[in-house]
Amino acid sequence: MLIFMKEALYYEALADQQVRCGLCHHGCIIRCGRRGICGVRENRDGRLYSLVYGRLTAEAVDPIEKKPLYHFLPGSTSFSVATRGCNFRCLHCQNCTISQVTSDVPLNRDRETAPQQLVAVARGMGCKSISYTYTEPTIFYEYALDTARLAAAAGLKNVFVTNGYITPDPLREIAPVLDAANIDLKFFDEKMYREVCGAHLQPVLDTIGLYYELGIWIEITTLIIPEHNDDDEQLRKIAEFIAGLDTAIPWHVTGFYPVYKLQHVPPATVAMLRRARRIGYETGLKNVYTGNLPDDEGCTTYCPECRAELIVRGGRRALVSSGFDGVCEECGGRLAGVFATN
């Protein structure tokens, strides 16, 4: 029988059989017999173990647009996988049943699936990539890393859908086989990050910058939550931060709906998303998209030079010509991204 509990990477031993986890910016100091904030990394006799290596809790074949990634292999499918656990405690988590883990959650009931099996299934399904998503891929880093290396060797791309809380060293290690990431920039307000997510803003900003520096294709998502991050000032600061890295980075502004512990908050409206999109363009961003609510214009990719329609989307599916290489047929303008013939 395969052994799926695996010793963790990126931790250090401390006195009294304690350990410090260095995988994410929480830097949890974990006593013997206890787990970190993520709920799935446990100190056993002074050694830190991942409890979810090879334990799949969710899998699906998704359009890459669902991540959402709009400038990365548009029109392709991605084999999307997750284990349980997360290092954030977002009050609005739509996947709270698998992300929020307590000590009484029976992890051994999830399906045991080795990295080789994931790659084989992805190829068999005709997917162009594997996405580590639904929960937070950082907390199942060892599983993701082993799978990503095998996937890259098999000609598949690898994608993180992430909260951006990974520390620099593990990100640098996986970077050679990590092709793209959609990173949540949930707020541009430290207080909101603490109160709504149980985290801090600056590490997320630093991590986004490192992803960009490492040459991983990134797109940024901000879920618009009424009364939390829908004010013009906060939206403009987010847009300015992204533009300060690269105005070609796509920004997805998506609509909140009441869920989990924020069921008392009203849903976002199309008008809110369109206002955020307008602010993004005013700030200089070239690719701003709306999501989760019907808005055909906000889902369409336009040429950054002549504004011709290049990719039209509906229901998270992209209508894109075979062999599209990111070049506008009208004016020759080039769209930033990773396309079929890159």
| φ, ψ for residue 208, nearest 5 deg | -60, -45
C-alpha–C-alpha distance, residues 115 and 181, integer Å: 20
- Residue 141: helix, strand or coil by DSSP? helix
Cα separation of 8 and 27, whole Å? 14
pLDDT in tens, 32-48: 999 999 999 999 999 99
Is 329 among the domain residues?
yes
Same domain membership, residue 342 and residue 226? no
Residues 264 and 282 in one domain: yes
Residues 314 and 188 reside in one and the same domain: no
Among the candidates 263, 280, 298, a domain finishes at 298
Residue that is written with structure tokens 């401390």 in the block:
14
* 146 shares its domain with 92: yes
- Residue 1, in any domain of the structure: no
Q: What is the pTM of this model?
A: 0.96
Q: Is 119 domain-assigned?
A: yes
Report the chain's mean pLDDT, rounded to a whole number.
95
The answer to whether residue 44 is domain-embedded is: yes
Q: Give the integer Cα–Cα distance in Å for 275 and 271.
A: 6
pLDDT digits (tens, 9 = 90+) for 218-247: 999 999 999 999 999 999 999 999 999 999
The tokens describing 175, both together, are 């970077």
Q: Per residue in 54-67, pLDDT tens?
A: 999 999 999 999 99
Q: Can you name the residues that pair with 58 across neighbouring β-strands?
A: 82
256 and 107 in a single domain? The answer is: yes
Q: Does 306 lie in the same domain as 266?
A: no
Do 234 and 317 lie in a common domain? no
Tell me the pLDDT tens digit for each residue of 173-226.
999 999 999 999 999 999 999 999 999 999 999 999 999 999 999 999 999 999
Residues 90, 102, single domain; the answer is yes
Are 252 and 206 within one domain? yes
Residue 43 forms part of a structural domain = yes
Helix (H, G, I), strand (E, B) or coil at 54: coil
Question: Are 26 and 93 members of one domain?
Answer: no
Q: What average pLDDT score do residues 310-329 get?
A: 84
DSSP state of 334: B
Q: How many domains does the chain have?
A: 3
Structural domain containing residue 289: 55-298
Instruction: Compute φ and ψ for 117, nearest 5 degrees.
Output: -65, -40
DSSP state at residue 249: S
Indicate whether 126 and 212 sit together in one domain. Answer: yes
**Do 118 and 160 sit in the same domain of this protein?**
yes
